[in-house]
Amino acid sequence: MNDLIEKAGCRERIICDSAGTSSYHIGSPPDRRMSAAAAEKLQIKLNGQARQFQKSDFENFDLILAMDRENYQDILSLDPTGKYHQKVRLMCDFCSLYTLKEVPDPYYGGTEGFNQVIDLLTDACQGLLKYIVNS
Q: Alpha carbon of 15 to those of 89, 105, 134: distances in Å?
A: 17, 24, 16
- What is the dihedral sign for C-alpha 81, 55, 18, 130? positive
Residue 22 CB-half CA count within 13 A: 5
The pLDDT assigned to 51 comes to 96
What structural domains and CATH numbers belong to the chain? 2-134 (3.40.50.2300)
pLDDT in tens, the chain (135 residues): 999 999 999 999 999 999 999 988 899 999 999 999 999 999 999 999 999 999 999 999 999 999 999 999 999 999 999 999 999 999 999 999 999 999 999 988 889 999 999 999 999 999 999 999 998
Q: How far is CA 34 from the centre of its chain?
A: 13
Question: b/e string for 84-112 if b means 16 or more Cβ within 10 A?
Answer: beebbebbbebbeebeeebbeebeeeeee
